[in-house]
Chains A and B, each alone.
Chain A
């Protein structure tokens, strides 16, 4: 088993009232799954994804990732854990405008303290794999949205994570670009065995996955 959430609650207190963002979430994810999280706006999809990605904390419950109990870890170890095993893909790509494509790809490796020569090799590898060698010295603003998201996925993959978390990865793309990205996810899942959890609004995209989780008001339905 890759990860397990047990009775996870997350809430905020507003004006004396407790508003639940996540309510009693139980979830088990096996390696090699491709899960789609669906639900209306404000149902807690992104929050759930952030909790799984350890970017956000929760107030109650347990979270086990591989053999670690995430809820007991200090922030520093948590960040070590997620930079080792998890890659993120965002709706608005979140590439750094000041860095070239190659440099954006290199950044996760820097924070993992990978050696210079090895970094070069890994970057060259992934550029090759995604067919964007020709774009390596361009800045994100010089690319189309689909190409940017391609770089975003490549960046998420470069450190060979076990899990990819994608928050509406195709939200800003047109249908053709969306299809390409979803095909890419499918291929990664099938051929490389990468576990993928994606948040999506689109039934069509959800169909690429092996399992769908529906959320409503912070609760699994």
Chain B
């Protein structure tokens, strides 16, 4: 019987080649995309999820209340971990964790390797399986190290090296280490990856920092005893914090920091291991967000959904062609169950073929996918049994619903009606219509999203930020020399170059430079009995003119020694609330009153998702500068850039030149938006293509079903246009309905999203009209070709076929 099902399924699929290939192509693409996106999302979600003790392991974060607001940091001082273990109850195991690079020397091989410096318990806390050597306490000796299989092969050319010795270059000296165990190779989804693991006490900086509570340079992971919650640990550690961070707390108090709601200045907080990958230290707080992987999963499901809708709709539409067969089989004694299985087998066939092709496609495109979406997924992931089983289970599940629904509909048809070739009810069409509205709704919403995202990115790129971003190069002062001296040297060297207009410096960059680092600095002080907060920027005296910021009041710094005053922006002037801001005297540090020299026009010194805050420029030799800014003439910009690079090389021969124009820096700050836009755009393109494939197949079927009707209409005198209109209007109605439903939803979501930006575009109606128009136009093109052709056929011909 089953063989018979398969045979008939195969013949049916081969017979209707157009329909079958549309189905298979659509489903394969959807499967491939869903596999890739699903892998990317699962890859993210499974980070460090494989550790057996993972549920009770936490990363320690220290938060402190500074005068600039709360600050959270994951780096800890060396004595913290052993003291915590000794003094705070509830700690089962604890390890310090320092990721580093080191030169490994073995014979005449010298290889730069990733090394982690950890405590003895590291391998009992985390599940990195030891495949050779001491599996229980591989790091019992200070000179012991664990190598991964790959590292051992690289270094020794074999993995049978337990007990062998090699050297690591520590502070310029070769120090011998003994291999105590070999660990299995790393999986990609861990933040704790290493090639060599050694004892923390053997790290070069350990001896100097052993007792230093104010020198922070490594992470700490703690495993709590059974039954101890992170909350009880956090409250239990308060006395410990007060004891060991006494000096730091005093300093914070002195600087005018305000305590948190519990009256505390420094706290230890625990971040669960599973959350570590999703943790960001936003605005000084620890925040955990998994929304990106879930968004990716959501897109994957939407695309799969659209393809499945196509399949359901096509199968139902196609069933009209098979009424005779259904009826005949029933008169020959087929039961509902048997018919159901027959149709379901056909679905299973299509789905298995599509999934096979989908898997192949995802193999082929995995590398492009990785570069476009910046993810680490690998082909190995695809081959893991758990993934394959999951995939197969998913396909089965989809087949049950997507293949089962039309199968049930078909097997339920009455015998006589189907023999006569008439469908009993119009109920099926309602399901079809709802599904198609859904489909196009998703496509329209995604198109709208793409348009709005592009609009916002374009707006941010072109907005006048209040300073000159096209002609200014910034680069980090990452050399050994004193920063103020470097600025002076640069000025001196480049004086003769007519293309370099001016040079200055500041301690904070604008946008995101090539060094990939961003910072912000804020202070608070008392002004006329109330506290005032302002961003704080240490500058060089030519900062304002170099960046082309407009002065509105007073004067700029005159020269390098004009440091007994500050320049503020309009927002700061408003914050001070003085009629004449130039009369204000700021008491930034105790007892010293600094006059306001001038006021500059507001400019966007932070990302466009924030309103312009008060800022104060201050000149100070001690605090130093971190970035140089050079304004170049509008012509020969490439050679000016080269001149800057060469001069830098001359002044700081050992430091890399990481200069970039400020407009590039600003562009880099919305990388995230660009990736999201790319994703939503590809999602919308895919969804509209898939929806239209469904629409196309549907129009084919409808046209063939209505051949007789078309013929009759033509015989009584209908024109080609009116017939095209009749055939098209039903579908267009659905697309328009989808537009009406999707637009408010898209409007709401995009409105919420734009709320994240202080500077944003208006959600004009044209975004929605454009998205709707695009969808209608594409739908029209899809249906149009076939319907016009059908409408032009000679009626005698179409009537004869009936």
Q: Which residues of A contact B (CB under 8 A)?
A: 50, 53, 55-56, 76, 79-80, 82-83, 88, 90, 94-96, 98-99, 103, 107-108, 110-113, 155
Contact = CB atoms under 8 A, between A and B. Distances in A.
Given A96-B325, A98-B8, A107-B329, A50 B416 contact: yes
B333 A111 contact: yes
Nearest to A83: B333
Interface string B3-14: 010011001100
A79 B336 CA distance: 10
B328 A112 contact: no
A112 B416 contact: no
B11 A107 contact: no
Which 3 interchain pairs have the tightest Cβ spacing?
Answer: A83-B333, A111-B333, A108-B332
B419 A98 contact: no
19 contacts: A53-B331, A55-B416, A56-B415, A79-B333, A79-B335, A83-B332, A88-B332, A94-B327, A94-B331, A98-B8, A98-B12, A99-B11, A103-B7, A107-B332, A110-B4, A111-B332, A111-B334, A111-B335, A155-B332
Given A83-B332, A94-B419, 5 more contacts: A50-B416, A88-B331, A94-B328, A98-B8, A111-B335
B324 interface: yes
Nearest to B5: A110
A83 B335 CA distance: 10
Contacts of B329: 96, 107, 111
A213 B744 CA distance: 67
Contacts of B7: 103
Contacts of A107: 329, 332
B728 interface: no
A99 B8 contact: yes
Contact of A76 (B1, B327, B335): B335
B15 interface: yes
Nearest to A82: B333
A117 to B, nearest CB: 14
B568 to A, nearest CB: 84
A79 B332 CA distance: 9
B333 A96 contact: no
Given A98-B11, A110-B4, A56 B333 contact: no
B124 interface: no
Contacts of A56: 415-416
B647 interface: no
B12 A112 contact: no
Q: Which of B328, B330, B332, B419 has the most CB of A within 10 A?
A: B332
Interface of B: 1, 4, 7-8, 11-12, 15, 324-325, 327-335, 338, 415-416, 419
A82 B331 CA distance: 8
Contacts of A83: 332-333
A43 B330 CA distance: 25
B334 to A, nearest CB: 5
B331 A55 contact: yes
Given A56-B416, A94-B419, A112 B11 contact: no
Nearest to A112: B333
B1 A110 contact: yes
Nearest to A92: B324
Contacts of A76: 335
B434 to A, nearest CB: 30
Contacts of A80: 333
Contacts of A103: 7
Q: Which of A95, A96, A112, A113 has the most CB of B within 10 A?
A: A96
A132 to B, nearest CB: 19
A155 B328 CA distance: 11
Nearest to A165: B331
A102 B328 CA distance: 16
B414 to A, nearest CB: 9
A154 to B, nearest CB: 13
Contacts of B338: 111
Contacts of A99: 8, 11
B324 A94 contact: yes
A50 B327 CA distance: 12
Nearest to A55: B415
Nearest to A111: B333
A123 to B, nearest CB: 13
A64 B521 CA distance: 96
Contacts of A95: 328
A53 to B, nearest CB: 7
A76 B8 CA distance: 24
A108 B328 CA distance: 10
Contacts of B328: 94-96
Nearest to A158: B332
Contacts of B333: 79-80, 82-83, 108, 111-112
Contacts of A108: 332-333
A83 B15 CA distance: 29
A118 to B, nearest CB: 14
B216 to A, nearest CB: 76
Contacts of A79: 330, 333-335
A83 B325 CA distance: 16
A128 to B, nearest CB: 21
A88 B325 CA distance: 14
Nearest to A99: B8
A113 B8 CA distance: 17
A80 B12 CA distance: 27
B12 to A, nearest CB: 6
Contacts of A110: 1, 4
Contacts of A94: 324, 327-328, 331, 419
A100 to B, nearest CB: 10
Nearest to B12: A98
Contacts of A55: 330-331, 415-416, 419
Contacts of B327: 94
A75 to B, nearest CB: 8
A113 B333 CA distance: 10
A108 B15 CA distance: 23
Contacts of A82: 331, 333
A143 to B, nearest CB: 16
A109 to B, nearest CB: 9
A79 B1 CA distance: 18
Contacts of B415: 55-56
Contacts of B334: 79, 111
A212 B590 CA distance: 122
B704 to A, nearest CB: 15
A188 B382 CA distance: 63
Contacts of B11: 98-99
A95 B331 CA distance: 12
Contacts of B324: 94
